[in-house]
A = this chain, B = another copy of it.
Amino acid sequence: MTDANVHFQPLGRKTSPEQGKTLLELARDSGVAIESICGSAGKCGKCKVVIRSGAANLTPLNRSEVEILGDKSVHAGTRLACQAKIVSEGDVVVEVPEESRRGHHRLLAAGEERATKLRPAMTKAVIELPPATLADVRADDDRFLDVLRKGARASSMMSPGAHRTLPGALRDGSWLVTATLFRGKEVVRVDPGDTTGELYGVAVDIGTTQVVAYLIDLASGDVLATESMPNPQIPFGEDVMSRITFTTKTPDGNERLQKVILDGLNSLISKLSSSSGVPQENILEAMVVGNTAMHHIFFGIPAKHLASAPYAPAVRTSLVYDAGQMGVDIYPFGKVSSLPNVAGFVGADAIADLVSSGLYRDRQIGMMIDIGTNTEIIAGNKDRLVSCSCASG
């Protein structure tokens, strides 16, 4: 280790010159967002940078660069960040021109809303139990489930979260507690007293370009807060295909893309909580939609097979994970779910579009267009729907 640095200007970020890494990889490692569409193939020419000093510490210009950059540009010290690799330890100063930088996008994250009757997966029930006495020494879980099951929830089961909160809640609530149930039968949490007035969830749309999260009061249906951010995966590839390419070319590519989107979502959830005053611990579920690639990567499922024929998705059915297991910072024994996917390039976001537009129950034939970096079009009515998608950003 020397004290040498790769400086990215005018952003002022620096990192150590790791041998064998490209300037694009080093930029990503240090949080500098450089455009890249072709998945580091040296073809799109979007990642142009100018070497201000230390050019001798980099691999020589290769054929792709010569072809794409042209003489004048090469003369000015321009390189493709995805092609120039570190070969020796020494300072390198890299200027990232404005046109190579990923800026902020202006996207529509609000619109007209239709009145909707919510049927949240999480529900609450107030339960009163006979206290434990020396004449009735049943275990807390038996005592609790006996009452719950008499309330027609015959097959109720308990999650780790329920077991951890149950004994304290029973005694703190003087044997009157509120059970939170997922899909009416899995108890995920028990709180002392009556907390039926508090029921919160987040709805998340992971767009290729923009991520939007809404904090919803699941009792009233009100949107309590909205937050959005550019998709933090953009520095790894601008469109869906280049991100999938990144997962195939980097050994832990899928994990890295998953980590940045999880971190991004957690920062949105933290903001939703601050602005609304609802503690993150009280957010019980997150419903996530996105196109198939965004969906797979978010849930830690390999996305690479989406890019080769016959383009079958790994998962069509709706997923349900424990939030703690996923690493989503809401109540750890709450749930993170997705809507189902349709096909390789028509994802859970298209299902969300359909549900909210109501197209699936219309008699008349209609068409729904979701214009984004990837655009989906669905046409049809209650009898039959046809969908397709195409990169369009």
Contact A301:B163 (CB < 8 A) given known A133-B310, A310-B132: yes
Interface string of A312-325 (1 = CB under 8 A from B): 11111101011011
Q: Which residues of B lie under 8 Å from residue A290 when comparing CB positions?
A: none
Contact A309:B163 (CB < 8 A) given known A139-B315, A302-B168, A316-B139: no
A134 within 8 A of B: yes
Q: Which residues of B lie under 8 Å from residue A142 when comparing CB positions?
A: 316-317
Contact A163:B319 (CB < 8 A) given known A137-B344, A324-B325, A343-B137: yes
A341 within 8 A of B: yes
Contact check: which of B132, B171, B341 meets A139 at CB < 8 Å?
Answer: B341
Q: Which residues of B lie under 8 Å from residue A317 when comparing CB positions?
A: 139, 141-142, 145, 158
Interface string of A122-141 (1 = CB under 8 A from B): 00000000001110111111
Contact check: which of B167, B305, B310 meets A301 at CB < 8 Å?
Answer: B167
B299 lies within 8 A of A132 (CB): no
Most buried by B among A132, A136, A167, A310: A167
Q: How far is the CA of A65 from the CA of B315 in the complex (A)?
A: 66
Interface string of A279-318 (1 = CB under 8 A from B): 0000000000000000000011110010001111111110
Q: Which residues of B lie under 8 Å from residue A132 when comparing CB positions?
A: 310, 312
Q: How far is the CA of A171 from the CA of B314 in the complex (A)?
A: 11
Q: Which residues of B lie under 8 Å from residue A167 when comparing CB positions?
A: 301-302, 305, 314
A160 lies within 8 A of B299 (CB): yes
A166 within 8 A of B: yes
A258 CB, nearest partner CB in chain B, Å: 10
A295 CB, nearest partner CB in chain B, Å: 11
Question: Which chain B residue lies CB-closest to A136?
Answer: B310
Contact A325:B160 (CB < 8 A) given known A167-B302, A167-B314, A302-B167: yes
Binding site for B on A (CB under 8 A): 132-134, 136-143, 145, 158, 160, 163-164, 166-168, 171, 299-302, 305, 309-317, 319, 321-322, 324-326, 341, 343-344
Instruction: Across the A-B interface, give the 4 residue pairs with the lowest CB-CB distance, nearest first.
Output: A139-B316, A167-B314, A132-B312, A139-B313
